[in-house]
Structure 1
Amino acid sequence: MSAMSTTRARPPSRADYPVFRRITTRWMDNDLYGHVNNVVYYSFFDTAVNAHLIDAGALDIHAGAVIGLVVETYCNYFAPLAFPGDVDAGLRVAQVGRSSVRYEVGLFAADEPLGAAAGHFVHVYVDRESRRPVAALPDALHAALRALHDRV
């Protein structure tokens, strides 16, 4: 049995992320406690990453030969988010593998300097038809990742 870590994660700052996407909260995002429910944070991660890739021309969700499947996701929560409000999702890439990418996302209430949440999101890129990992990430994806990572 492993011991629990005693080091508490700290909220990120906006300077930790090179790219931001704005997401507007919706009425249905709030739970009965009056804040955005924890599962919605993962939806924000998914929205931020995929919107960046679509806008950069690296992801065609309808007809692209290569798609990203989520194989891992994680989140630390620091402060509540709520409707109505805007969330700024900061994006960066922590690791690029042969067929995978680890994205890191910080969620910030609009105009707040420190993150309300921070986590990661790992995509394995696969052939749409076979669902097998690709031999190498497509060039368009590498180009889109350059804005998020200085070693791509």
Structure 2
Amino acid sequence: MDPRRDPERLSLASYPLSHPVQARFSDLDGNGHLNNVALASFYEDARITLDWRIFTGGRPVPFDNFTFVVANISIHYLAEARYPATYVVGCGVGRIGTTSFVHSAGLFRDGVCLGLCDSILVHLVEGRPTVIPPDRRAQMEALAFPVRAGADAPAEAEAGIEAAAGTAVDAGAVGIPDQPAQAGSGLVGSEPDRR
């Protein structure tokens, strides 16, 4: 199914982890919205936070005896993102293969999904794709996307949503109106490599 039409991909509640991101003035482009490269960095930041949560218990330290590289990133830009604003990136492990896994993410503001990102990562040993060990697979499955019906969202997800709501820029205090999410830009990202 096209991720842009998948209701689970378009709902923050489907993601097991939420990561708040504050837009910066330097993220703006000449069109007055957040630059696509800046948005890609939002997904990257959330992906690293997810990896730390999966592989190190949330500590920003190297992954012990588990090397992986990004093989592909696919981004669908669904709507414009504006400054000033706080966004939330929902993320989780969308698929686990034999030697690779997919991080699935969505960028949200005010309940509106502004974009989707899938990152394919490959497990390497001595520079070659290698079977993901069962213990690592189990760690990834604990943060699988979508969150299954009846499952409790991790405390981090709830805290991330609350933190994002609590740290939103009070644009009125600085004399700049906060920009609402803009739907329908129709921009399309690259399609994933299907080899």
Shift of 1:67: 2.5
3-state SS in 2 of match to 1:33: coil
More helix by proportion, 1 or 2? 2
Q: Is residue 61–residue 67 contact of structure 1 (8 Å, CA) maintained in 2?
A: no
How far 1:47 moved relative to its partner?
A: 1.2
Q: Which residue of 2 aligns with 1:4?
A: none
**Between Structure 1 and Structure 2, whose CA radius of gyration is higher?**
2
CA separation of 1:71/1:89 partners in 2, compared to 1, >3 Å: closer, same or farther? same
- Unaligned ranges ≥5, structure 2: 149-195
| Structure-2 residue corresponding to 1:80 | 80
Aligned to 1:51: 49
Q: Structure 1 residues 83 and 145 mapped into 2: Cα distance closer, same or farther (>3 Å)?
A: farther
Structure 1 residue aligned with 2:37? 39
In structure 1, the partner of 2:112 is 114
8 Å CA contact 2:24, 2:84 repeated in 1? yes
Per-residue CA shift, 1:90-136, capped at 9, x if unaligned? 11322101221111110012xx1120101211111223xx2222332
Which residues of structure 1 form unaligned runs of 5+?
1-6
Matches within 5 A, 1:3-152: 9-10=4-5, 12-56=10-54, 57=56, 62=62, 64-109=64-109, 112-127=110-125, 130-137=126-133, 139-140=135-136, 142-149=138-145
Partner SS state of residue 116, structure 1: strand
Structure-2 change in CA distance of 1:26 and 1:81 (3 Å): same
CA RMSD of aligned residues (A): 2.8
Identity %: 23
TM-score normalised per structure 1: 0.76
The answer to whether the 8 A contact 2:4-2:116 is kept is no
- Structure 1 position 142, deviation (Å): 3.0
SS in 1 for 2:103: strand
Residues 47 and 18 of structure 1: is their aligned pair in 2 closer, same or farther, counting only changes over 3 Å? same
Query: How far apart are 1:8 and its partner, in Å?
Result: 9.5
In 2, Cα distance between the equivalents of 1:97 and 1:61? Answer: 25
Distance 1:8 1:98 in 2: 22
Aligned residues between the structures: 141
